[in-house]
Chains A and B, each alone.
Chain A
Amino acid sequence: DQQVKQNSPSLSVQEGRISILNCDYTNSMFDYFLWYKKYPAEGPTFLISISSIKDKNEDGRFTVFLNKSAKHLSLHIVPSQPGDSAVYFCAASAGAGGTSYGKLTFGQGTILTVHP
């Protein structure tokens, strides 16, 4: 039972263009969502997050959009840079504000390649 799904295994984008990574979830109890980036042979690193009380959160080139009715979120990277090439994981948690923060359910990941 995959509660968090990233249906695109890979995405290829030209430098300077927008990268859009998508994520769907099924568990209505999820109320906090995060994106992590992972380079080879390294652990995932936190990128950006959004609470279910918001529909958008922006941090520099990265923006996360949340559509609760559709149980869908997306990560936009503008403009994309070659250094953004990595695996991106969507993650979700239930019970924001409590210990559940660290109990994350991850998607399968999307490999982003940004070509110069």
Chain B
Amino acid sequence: GAGVSQTPSNKVTEKGKYVELRCDPISGHTALYWYRQSLGQGPEFLIYFQGTGAADDSGLPNDRFFAVRPEGSVSTLKIQRTERGDSAVYLCASSLLGGATGELFFGEGSRLTVL
């Protein structure tokens, strides 16, 4: 497809487990972002990649969260020792840097539920 693809769309796990969420951005988009949206809130910035490197990871809540983008395309958000408070929709977005509007193209999100 032409849009941002995220898998899985839904993930239910138990407290303490490890989770990986995958994002496949729009082809040619060099910038990739992860956001987290909790119930009743707007998306909250987690991390930004320019190419393969994390240019800004200031939004990651703690060291249980980690993200990679080894080849500058697909990205994986990794959450260790999950907690119930990690339950949220994790949104991935991509963009062309230098675009006039700076608009982000979001995927449909991965809904994570930690029991």
Residues of A bordering B, CB below 8 Å: 4, 6, 32, 34, 36, 41-46, 49, 89, 91, 93, 96, 99, 101-109
Assembled-state Cα–Cα distance A109/B48 (Å): 22
Taking the nearest CB of chain A, how far is it from the CB of B96, in angstroms? 10
Which one of A36, A44, A45 has the highest number of Cβ atoms from chain B below 10 Å of its Cβ? A44
Which one of A36, A49, A101 has the highest number of Cβ atoms from chain B below 10 Å of its Cβ? A101
Chain B residues, Cβ within 8 Å of A91: 42
Least CB separation from B44: chain A residue = A106
**B104 near A: Cβ within 8 Å?**
yes
**B103 near A: Cβ within 8 Å?**
yes
* Cβ contact of A42, chosen from B44, B99, B108, cutoff 8 A: B108
Assembled-state Cα–Cα distance A105/B35 (Å): 10
- In the bound complex, do residue B45 and residue A104 qualify as a contact, i.e. CB atoms below 8 Å apart? yes
Assembled-state Cα–Cα distance A84/B46 (Å): 29
Taking the nearest CB of chain A, how far is it from the CB of B44, in angstroms? 7
Which one of A4, A32, A41, A96 has the highest number of Cβ atoms from chain B below 10 Å of its Cβ? A41
**B62 near A: Cβ within 8 Å?**
no
Taking the nearest CB of chain A, how far is it from the CB of B45, in angstroms? 5
Least CB separation from A93: chain B residue = B102
Residues of B bordering A, CB below 8 Å: 4, 31, 33, 40-45, 48, 50, 55-56, 59, 91, 93, 95, 97, 99, 101-109
- In the bound complex, do residue B42 and residue A32 qualify as a contact, i.e. CB atoms below 8 Å apart? no
Taking the nearest CB of chain A, how far is it from the CB of B4, in angstroms? 7
Assembled-state Cα–Cα distance A63/B99 (Å): 21
- In the bound complex, do residue B43 and residue A49 qualify as a contact, i.e. CB atoms below 8 Å apart? no
Chain B residues, Cβ within 8 Å of A105: 45
- In the bound complex, do residue B106 and residue A107 qualify as a contact, i.e. CB atoms below 8 Å apart? no
Assembled-state Cα–Cα distance A4/B43 (Å): 12
- In the bound complex, do residue B108 and residue A102 qualify as a contact, i.e. CB atoms below 8 Å apart? no
- In the bound complex, do residue B50 and residue A99 qualify as a contact, i.e. CB atoms below 8 Å apart? yes
- In the bound complex, do residue B41 and residue A108 qualify as a contact, i.e. CB atoms below 8 Å apart? yes
- In the bound complex, do residue B95 and residue A102 qualify as a contact, i.e. CB atoms below 8 Å apart? yes
- In the bound complex, do residue B91 and residue A49 qualify as a contact, i.e. CB atoms below 8 Å apart? no
Chain A residues, Cβ within 8 Å of B45: 103-105
Taking the nearest CB of chain A, how far is it from the CB of B18, in angstroms? 25
